[in-house]
Chain A
């Protein structure tokens, strides 16, 4: 597969998807850490990581795939309740996810992973794998025991040529880890450019390599040569990482099963009997008891040389010889092989019995000559069922296999029950009935005595499955092999999750729509002008009225359209809130503080640009709270507070804006210290400081220069980055306020507009022109008789409801001569009372006009640097309205 490039559409789809999946897994992990029994959470994390692994396999990002794979294995073990998820494990997993996230960023930029990725991946992956390996702690021993059948050797192992098994056996006896690979390529893989044969041949150190058809071949003419119908079985003793590297693109279609030497033993031949075997059995048992493996080997070799080579027991001897000459002999295996040669029966794995002779009637259904094979087939099918949950295709193949097995074993009586179980399975869309059937069959019961139409009563007789009945919430330990609670929980999951119909659209396309609608709004605004002209210039009143009617319709449609497209741009605040649980957790651990974070109103939506820009300011606020606001547990305890501090993130929608609050119950801001620091720093003088109210003192932390001063931030416990907060929020047209009570906590409140797309402005006449003033700056409009304007030296002011409001003349600010007033006009000034930085200022203008919604376009090109204007907007009659930026102007 070639390197993915920047214009690789698959990669472009993968990147946002990967980020979502990473986010989902991190969120799930945090939930799990709080409540390890959270079944849906583990399933969610597992599913996300699994999907990530699958889709990452499409790219040349082996390191990423490998790391995710390791994480998936670990999560799988957690899900199977083999290991307990603790904080350190969560740390490891989160670190891995972070690494993956870095790589995803890298993939987006460079379309390839950094050079050291392989090293990092294998280091982190082996760390994760080490945890999987160490799962057999005493407390989980029972679960581990119970999962043994799930690790049963793959059934196809015995279809491999005996010579290959023998080679594998010898290597396993020498301590090598033998892996059994089953590679079943996707039927459509040829279209993806995959050549499974070549891929399979890449597996290093293959001791056995077999190919088989998945479905029987039909007539050659009917064959679809491009539909892959092959399956590969490979036995190798190469390290797993090497194997994975070799077939890295096919990993999700390959199942790996480590096999032990015992699994590889396959004894064949004619049954035989005689005193010579009994003698050997006695002698070898004695030698075994004495621990003399060399002697065992010698006796085995001797006996083998004079018994018939075609005999089953003779064959057993040859395996015994190999086992006994191993460098690190498996004593149990030697014992089992001695038993095999001595008694004609091989114990095989666990307690299942392989009998070479058909002597003795089977005690259970599966104790016939092919019992062990049948068992392992059943185990494999159960595993498949449990793994995939309810899946029509999988079910069909399982049904076919089990059906054939029943026929093969001559268990005709069970076939009816089996058919019934299949029908039930289809009806209930759950694998449960089939699993119960298999379970009973395997445990040696007589499935045909079950009332097959009603699986529930039989549950009590099935060993592990009752827990599966109270699903999907059940998180009880499921020691069942494979199909445990999670198997059924996964069945339930797809039913709960309604299919999401989401369209991923490029931002630019939405922006274009937005612009077009903006234009539409503007052109729509020209209709009233047209109506006016129709009436005034052409004297047609009717025409004017009709235009106005049409205008009303278009106006309504345009507004709806605008609303709709703004909805598209809306994102829930959870987009930014989601990162905080992780951040707070990490920081709290680092600082040794105990913090309980609660998030409210995540569903509150706001414009995408706002949500995206809010990330940083919120980060600063939360970090400040954690760092300075919240005290150490001991200090809190001494102050009579709970050891665990609470930090609240709240979002809610208010009239035309979104309010986001960060509230902590920490030590609060001390206004006295702020005052002292401000004086010391020379931000204000002592007199001024004395006049400030506590709230005003707290507001000082926003003063630029103040916030960055290190010693002050340490003193106040606040301030680092507060100017970042302020500037960002104000740029978005929002406001910041901080309230704090000493010793009780601090609340920072951000108020933001819902959308930035449309700005409401008031059109004013000033200095022989019309200008727009953003509505949110305007507190009120008043007409002030000239007599009430008082001059204080060169400045002017007037009193509005007992408050002195300084006056400024717009003409002075804009540097144009003031309009000459007609002498007969009443001496009255139009004053726009604006609120700037929390202070009121009166702006003297010539006249007020209407308010309107405009699409604000920032000044561009040569005008870009001009101060005093925040942008332009197009009026309905084609004129350009300059929008004033009062903060810069005053």
Chain B
């Protein structure tokens, strides 16, 4: 399972597909101070990305894949900065 939820932290591992979007959304609805760890993430579906963007989690650990990190982190952290 690419999306691993451990208490208040969700770990993205490998390629995370569109099917996980609702689970992720539910997670953010449930957890007060959610943390997101993208370190092991090799790719994520746009639907997940926008759930992340909308949820504005307190902390996001960037993916170790530099291309992916470069593509999504400015967007995700930019959203965080808006708060």
- Across-interface contacts of A211 in B (CB, < 8 A): 49, 53, 71-72, 74-75
Q: Are A196 and B46 in contact (CB under 8 A)?
A: yes
Q: Are A221 and B25 in contact (CB under 8 A)?
A: yes
How far apart are A250's CB and chain B's nearest CB, in angstroms? 12
Offer 19 A-B interface pairs, CB within 8 angstroms, sorted by A: A195-B45, A197-B46, A197-B72, A210-B74, A211-B49, A211-B53, A212-B75, A213-B53, A217-B56, A217-B79, A220-B25, A220-B29, A225-B21, A225-B24, A225-B51, A226-B47, A229-B50, A230-B49, A230-B50
Residue of A nearest to B15 (CB): A198
- Across-interface contacts of B72 in A (CB, < 8 A): 197, 211
Cα(A198)–Cα(B79), bound, Å: 20
- Across-interface contacts of A230 in B (CB, < 8 A): 46, 49-50, 53
How far apart are B37's CB and chain A's nearest CB, in angstroms? 18
Q: Are B25 and A223 in contact (CB under 8 A)?
A: yes
Q: Is A190 an interface residue (CB 8 A)?
A: yes
Q: Are B55 and A228 in contact (CB under 8 A)?
A: no
Q: Are B25 and A197 in contact (CB under 8 A)?
A: no
Contact with B along A873-886 (1 / 0, CB 8 A): 00000000000000
Q: Is B54 an interface residue (CB 8 A)?
A: yes
- Across-interface contacts of B48 in A (CB, < 8 A): 225
How far apart are A306's CB and chain B's nearest CB, in angstroms? 33
Q: Are B46 and A217 in contact (CB under 8 A)?
A: no
Cα(A209)–Cα(B67), bound, Å: 10
Q: How large is the interface on B (under 10, 10 to 19, 20 to 34, 35 or more residues)?
A: 20 to 34
Q: Which of B47, B70, B71, B74 has the most CB of A within 10 A?
A: B47
- Across-interface contacts of A221 in B (CB, < 8 A): 25, 29
Contact with B along A224-265 (1 / 0, CB 8 A): 011011100000000000000000000000000000000000
Residue of B nearest to A214 (CB): B50
Q: Is B22 an interface residue (CB 8 A)?
A: yes
Known: A220-B25, A225-B22, A226-B21. A209 touches B47 (CB 8 A): no
Q: Is A201 an interface residue (CB 8 A)?
A: yes
- Across-interface contacts of B60 in A (CB, < 8 A): none
Known: A201-B67, A225-B24. 14 other contacts (CB 8 A): A190-B18, A197-B49, A210-B75, A211-B53, A211-B74, A213-B53, A213-B79, A217-B53, A221-B29, A223-B54, A225-B22, A226-B21, A228-B46, A230-B46
Cα(A210)–Cα(B71), bound, Å: 7
- Across-interface contacts of A851 in B (CB, < 8 A): none
Q: Is B12 an interface residue (CB 8 A)?
A: no
Q: Are A220 and B75 in contact (CB under 8 A)?
A: no
Cα(A196)–Cα(B22), bound, Å: 18
Cα(A371)–Cα(B48), bound, Å: 37
How far apart are B79's CB and chain A's nearest CB, in angstroms? 8
Q: Are A195 and B46 in contact (CB under 8 A)?
A: yes
How far apart are B35's CB and chain A's nearest CB, in angstroms? 15
How far apart are B54's CB and chain A's nearest CB, in angstroms? 4
Residue of B nearest to A211 (CB): B75
Cα(A190)–Cα(B46), bound, Å: 8
Q: Are A190 and B47 in contact (CB under 8 A)?
A: yes
Cα(A221)–Cα(B34), bound, Å: 14
Query: B residues 14-57 with Cβ under 8 Å of A?
Result: 18, 21-22, 24-25, 28-29, 43-51, 53-56
**Which 3 residue pairs spanning A and B have beta carbons closest together?**
A225-B21, A211-B75, A217-B54
Q: Is A161 an interface residue (CB 8 A)?
A: yes
- Across-interface contacts of A201 in B (CB, < 8 A): 67-68, 71
How far apart are A204's CB and chain B's nearest CB, in angstroms? 12
